[in-house]
């Protein structure tokens, strides 16, 4: 099958009925709008569904353009899905194929296509038979250690040089990010949106992290205490290393980039994966830090491993109430921080004199 020269169909080129149904069913409505299937979805989830469906329409437009004249649900059958799955396999793994088919099914169901049980069976069969690429297990304590090693290395080099060079400022910043993510495995968007004095707040000699609801996938605000050892390292970063980054005085983003603005999510991804490749021989993305935290918890405290749900800000299958999640997230953060503190105590020399107070 000849591959389409265009991966997806732009929204303004979608058939009129598809555009109408998407706007009516999938765009975010008011907080009290329960009629729209997509109203409760996070913006990232909605974007993922839209991109998957746009790719599906792009495939139809190139290979079966006559079907675009039919209503969305009526143009789909087993033959078309089989052809689309074959098309996706040219560039994607079986895991990705199964995920994309499920997204397409979700959109069609929202458009009024019933439960599409036959498509669900196909998607589940592909997912069941898929063999995801094996990834070596990395736990939060290993990532936490990496973060502290990078920070220690930056301090040692800066002390030897008598000044902080670009290499050391980046090394300390990346180490701080990695240790922070190991202790508080927030999503990349929340990490990129951290601002000093807003999300990152100093209370006494300890820092806290407040994540607003718009930065969480579940739409629930979360709050975490940052352990004293990590708070001291944050002091050192903010007072000694961050100011050496050009343009860092012009913004309040926690993670300063060399371009004079806060690091974007993609830049954070690149920095974290590069450092983890250097240490472990394979990339550990910020999202996998969340898996690492749950893995450490399951080993260290298996009886209470369900608490990882609260640390990660996940809703339970029973749709846990927001206030419960907020309270448990903070408690869960303390549990992981205590575990990490017991595994790795930073040297006393890393707390600089100016880090005793801000």
Task: Say yes or no: 72 and 160 in one domain.
Answer: no
Query: What pLDDT score was predicted for residue 303?
Result: 41
Task: Say yes or no: 124 and 148 in one domain.
Answer: no
In a domain, 118, yes or no: yes
Task: Say yes or no: 144 and 43 in one domain.
Answer: no
With beta carbons less than 8 A apart as the criterion, state whether 106 and 49 touch: yes
In a domain, 78, yes or no: yes
> What CATH number should be reported for the domain holding residue 64?
1.10.150
Task: Say yes or no: 119 and 174 in one domain.
Answer: no
Task: Say yes or no: 115 and 254 in one domain.
Answer: no
In a domain, 225, yes or no: yes
Task: Say yes or no: 21 and 43 in one domain.
Answer: yes
Average predicted confidence (pLDDT) for the chain? 79
In a domain, 135, yes or no: no
Which one of 110, 129, 148 terminates a domain? 129
Task: Say yes or no: 189 and 272 in one domain.
Answer: yes
Q: Is the pLDDT of residue 149 over 70?
A: yes
Q: What is the pLDDT of residues 184-243, one digit of tens each?
A: 888 888 889 999 999 999 998 889 988 887 777 666 777 888 989 999 999 999 999 999
In a domain, 53, yes or no: yes
- Please report where in the chains the tokens 């929204």 appear, as a residue: 11
Q: 3-state DSSP call for residue 343?
A: helix
In a domain, 2, yes or no: no
Residue 346's domain comprises: 140-356
In a domain, 32, yes or no: yes
Task: Say yes or no: 53 and 170 in one domain.
Answer: no
Distance CA 282, CA 326 (A): 34
Query: What pLDDT score was predicted for residue 187?
Result: 82
Q: What is the mean pLDDT of residues 110-116?
A: 86
Which one of 129, 158, 178 terminates a domain? 129
Q: 3-state DSSP call for residue 207?
A: strand
Query: What pLDDT score was predicted for residue 29?
Result: 57
Distance CA 334, CA 303 (A): 17
In a domain, 326, yes or no: yes
DSSP 126: H
With beta carbons less than 8 A apart as the criterion, state whether 171 and 158 touch: no
Distance CA 113, CA 90 (A): 28
Least confident of 7-11, 70-74, 119-123, 141-145: 7-11
Q: Is the pLDDT of residue 307 over 50?
A: no
Residue 351 to residues 93, 304, 347: CA-CA distances in angstroms? 47, 33, 8
Task: Say yes or no: 99 and 155 in one domain.
Answer: no
> What CATH number should be reported for the domain holding residue 270?
1.10.443.10
User: Do β-strands 222-225 and 200-203 pair in parallel, antiparallel, or remain unpaired?
Assistant: unpaired
Task: Say yes or no: 29 and 164 in one domain.
Answer: no
Q: What is the pLDDT of residues 38-48, one digit of tens each?
A: 666 777 788 88
Phi, psi of 260, rounded to the nearest 5 degrees: 80, 20
Task: Say yes or no: 150 and 173 in one domain.
Answer: yes
With beta carbons less than 8 A apart as the criterion, state whether 325 and 222 touch: yes
Task: Say yes or no: 99 and 27 in one domain.
Answer: yes
Which one of 100, 129, 158 terminates a domain? 129
DSSP 105: H
Count up the domains in the chain and report the number.
2
CA angle 232, 222, 41 (to 5 degrees): 140
């Amino acid at each position: 099958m000849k591959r389409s020269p265009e991966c997806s169909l732009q929204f303004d080129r979608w058939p009129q009925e598809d555009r109408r149904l998407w706007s009516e069913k999938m765009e975010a409505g008011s907080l009290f709008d329960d009629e729209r299937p997509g109203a409760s979805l996070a913006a990232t989830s909605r974007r993922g569904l839209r991109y998957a469906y746009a790719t599906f329409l792009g495939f139809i437009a190139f290979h079966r353009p006559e079907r675009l004249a039919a209503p969305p649900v009526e143009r789909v059958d087993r033959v078309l899905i089989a052809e689309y799955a074959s098309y996706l396999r040219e560039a994607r793994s079986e895991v990705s194929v199964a995920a994309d088919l499920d997204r397409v099914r979700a959109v069609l169901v929202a458009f009024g296509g019933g439960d599409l049980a036959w498509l669900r069976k196909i998607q589940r069969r592909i997912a069941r038979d898929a063999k995801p690429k094996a990834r070596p297990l990395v736990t939060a304590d290993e990532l936490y250690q990496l973060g502290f090693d990078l920070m220690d290395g930056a301090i040692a080099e800066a002390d030897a040089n008598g000044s902080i060079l670009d290499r050391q400022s980046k090394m300390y910043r990346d180490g701080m990010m990695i240790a922070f993510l190991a202790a508080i495995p927030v999503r990349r968007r929340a990490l990129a949106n951290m601002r000093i004095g807003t999300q990152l707040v100093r209370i006494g000699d300890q820092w806290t992290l407040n994540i607003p609801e718009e930065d969480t996938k579940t739409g629930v605000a979360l709050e975490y205490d940052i352990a004293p050892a990590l708070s001291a390292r944050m002091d050192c970063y903010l007072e000694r290393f961050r100011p050496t980054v050009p343009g860092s005085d012009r913004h309040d983003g926690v993670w300063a980039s060399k371009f004079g603005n806060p690091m974007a999510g993609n830049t954070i991804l690149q920095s974290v994966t590069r450092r983890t490749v250097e240490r472990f021989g394979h990339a550990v993305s910020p999202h996998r830090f969340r898996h690492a935290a749950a893995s450490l918890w399951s080993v260290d405290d298996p009886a209470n491993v369900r608490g990882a749900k609260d640390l990660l800000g996940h809703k339970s299958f029973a749709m846990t109430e927001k206030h419960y999640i907020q309270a448990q997230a903070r408690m869960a953060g303390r549990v992981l921080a205590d575990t990490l503190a017991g595994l790795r105590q930073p040297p006393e020399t890393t707390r600089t004199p100016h880090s005793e107070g801000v």
